[in-house]
Every structure is written in C-alpha cells, then in structure tokens.
Amino acid sequence: MNNISLARKVFLALKYRKTAFNIIWNSTIGKGRAGNYPENIGIEIISKCNLACSMCHNADLRVEHNEDSRVSLDLIKKLLPELKKYKPIVSLSGGEPMLHSRLFDMVSLLSKNNILTSVSTNGTLIGHRIDEILDSGLGFISVSLDHFKPELHDQGRGKQGTFAKVVEGVKLLSKRRKKTPFNIKINTVIREDNYDELPQIYSFIETLGVDEWSLAHLSFLTPKMAQDVEEYKCANGFSSPWYAFPLGRDALFSDDQIEKLVKGVQKLRDMSKIYKTRLSLPTLEEKDYYLYYKGKYPTCKSSCSFPTRGVLIHSGAKVSTCVMDLGDVYKDNSISSIWNSARANKFRSLYREQKIFPHCLRCNSLNYDFSNHEVVVERDIA
C-alpha cells in the first residue's frame, strides 16, 4: 500500500505525456543509447548552502565557488524553447536551492510549459516558502532527512535545530498540498550513524504523511580512490568537479555493521508491505552489500545510465555529464548542441569502451554488479 493515489499518477502521466514516453522508451527500446536530447537535466541553481554536511558530495563545488555561483532566471528563459520541444525532467538542486530568490519563478515557468520539475532540498526553508511551493506547479519535492533522532540528524547536517525545521516543513507540505498534486519524497543517506536504525527511521517517516522514502548508499571516494580519479582525469582531459565525493577518509563497514545493515533492510521490505509510505531501495542487491561496504571493485557488467540520459548544469552555465565538462550554455548556445557535440560523443564512446571509470566505484548512480568479484579482489579500493 502506498498513498501516491492513482488519480495523482494519472494526472502526472497525462500532464507530462512526452516525458513519460521518453522514460519508457529510454528504459526499453532505447536503453544504453543516447537519444537526441537528455532525458534528465539537473541544474545546480546555487552553490551556496545554509548547512555544512560532512558527507556532502558537492562540498568541493561549494568550496570552489565560495563567492557563490547561481543560475539566473534568464538562463531558464533562454533554454525554454528546447525544453518545451524535448520535455526532459528538470531537477533543481544545489547547494540549497531554496536560498535562490527566483527558485519558484523558475518552477512556475517550467511547469506552465508542461515541463516536469523537481526540487531537492534540505528542508530547512520550507516553512518560509510554503505559499510559493504550493502555487508553483511543482511535480516532485525531495527532502533530506537522515534520522529520527534530532541530535543525530543535526550533527550530520552540521547545524543544530535542522531536524525540527525539516519535520515541521514536511508536515506543513503534506497538510497543505491537498489542492496540488505534487509528490513528496524523503531522501536518507545510509551512514555510520543510521545504518542500524533504519526500521525506526521508516516508522518515523510513516507518521509524516509523505509518498515515498528513498534510501541511498553514501557515495564517496577514499583518499586512494581520489588520487586514482585525479590521475585518470589528467590523463583523459576530464575537467568537471562534479561527482567528486571527496570524503577524505575511508567509509567502509565491519562485518558486524554490514550484517546489521542487511538485516535492517530485510525488515524494511516487510514493513513496506503494510506501510503507506512507498519504500525505494538502492539498486544494489543485499548480497552485494558485503562487497560494496568492504571496498571491493564492481565488475564491468555494472552499468550507469547517466552518460546516455542526463546532464548537469552548474557554476552558472557549465554543462557536464558525470566528470566531463561538455560546454557552456551561453557560449555553445544550447543544450542540444552540447549534447550532440564531438566532445560529448567522445565521452560516451569512452564510457562504452571502459564501462567503469575510477570515480564510478562508489557512486550511487551506478547499477552495481559484483559477479566474478574474485578476479578483481586484488584491486580493493581501501
């Protein structure tokens, strides 16, 4: 059971017909091939953040753009004709997107043109912007919440009082969204301070009146991996800071920790049969958690759809896929020309040839395959 009502699903599928078609096409007939336009466009609309999460995979980007870089409403207006034509999903994130004063002007503009838009937020500013959220025509909102214990959520997010604001904001959203059809998702990253309390977190989330709870594995680079990535980037001319996950320490688990995590996840599956909040688990199979959290390399049978399906816009106008900067929307004029450029094609053929780059090893976009892992055991990452 879950409370994404059939009426809401039908509404979304009808309103965003072309987007729904693209998703189905790209996961079936067109699977593994790049179409003539990305299906997903992630836009880091602001690099600034009001929190300081130790795990943040954008930490490098936030440091690099300490002076703050943001995407303007004019950029969205400039892109609008091609967005209207191809109907990708546009995901607005950051940094903290709710710090951007024009965020909901962007969402309204996109939504009025039937472009499915999602916002990913740390949730601390929902209360301040609730009327704008409700009036914007937003399709999806994803709110980060890592624990049911206020002190642990606050500690991980680097600021006291965060938990209280997020929970208050989420409750407000679920209470007041009745007249609007957007979906509310909570996103939790599995970490050392919550891996053994996932069932309790699920029970807490069930009380919030949201549609979905999504769990993500922590994406990270150990110091050794970070070194390998740098060497690889230099050797191959990769330039984007994206997906750097610079944790600066090993984030691997002991046997005991992994066992508790696996048992917890099994319990979540049972709970999801009776809970209203839909459970969305990471793609990694439970039997492979041991290999993932022990730092073994995945095999080249693993796959990632990102290079053939998505781009990210960051630093005001740069367009990148994965770790490769592909262009600039002002200089190159359109996402379409960047997506179909020789540089983008070169990156995708390199990806087809190599399947796994050094930065893929602990990236939560990768669909992991650890079969045949004995062969690669000597390449342990820790």
Per-residue x/- mask for ligand SF4, residues 124 to 163, rule CB under 6 A?
---------------------------------x------
What are residue 91's phi and psi, to 5 degrees? -110, 120
2: helix, strand or coil: coil
- 297: tokens are 């390399």
User: What is the crossing angle of helices 6-15 and 17-27, to 10°?
Assistant: 90
Encoded tokens for 148: 């049911």
| Rounded Cα distance, 133 and 155, in Å | 27
Is the CB of residue 55 less than 8 Å from the CB of residue 144? Answer: no
Residue 156 Cβ vs ligand SF4, minimum distance, rounded to whole Å: 9
Asked whether position 122 contacts ligand SF4 by CB under 6 A, the answer is: yes
Scan residues 296-355 and list those touching ligand SAM (CB under 6 A). Answer: none
Q: How far is the CB of 106 from ligand SF4 (least distance, A)?
A: 18
Q: Which is nearer to ligand SF4, 258 or 312 (CB)?
A: 312
Question: Min. distance of Cβ 47 from ligand SF4 in angstroms?
Answer: 9
Please give the DSSP secondary-structure letter assigned to residue 347.
Answer: H
Q: Which residues contact 379 (CB under 8 A, 6 or more apart)?
A: 297
Give every CB contact of residue 198 below 8 A, 6+ residues apart in sequence: 190, 215, 261, 264, 265, 267, 268
Closer by beta carbon to ligand SF4, 121 or else 222: 121
**Residue 357 CA neighbour count, 13 Å, CB half:** 29
Contact mark string toward ligand SF4, 252..291, x via CB under 6 A: ----------------------------------------
Number of residues written out for the chain: 382
Of 14-22, 51-59, 99-107, 231-239: span binding ligand SAM (CB under 6 A): 51-59
Helix (H, G, I), strand (E, B), or coil: what is residue 331?
coil
Least separation in angstroms between residue 270's CB and ligand SAM is 25
Residue selected from 40, 118, 124, 187 as contacting ligand SAM according to rule CB under 6 A: 187
Map the footprint of ligand SF4 across residues 20-79, applying CB under 6 A. Answer: 49, 51-53, 56, 58
Q: Which residue has the tokens 């919440």?
A: 145
CB of 74 to ligand SF4, least distance (A): 24
Q: Does 186 bind ligand SF4 (CB under 6 A)?
A: no
By CB under 6 A, residue 362 contacts ligand SAM:
no
Which residues of the chain form contacts with ligand SAM (CB under 6 A)?
49, 55-58, 93-94, 96, 120-122, 144, 187, 189, 216, 218-220, 245, 364
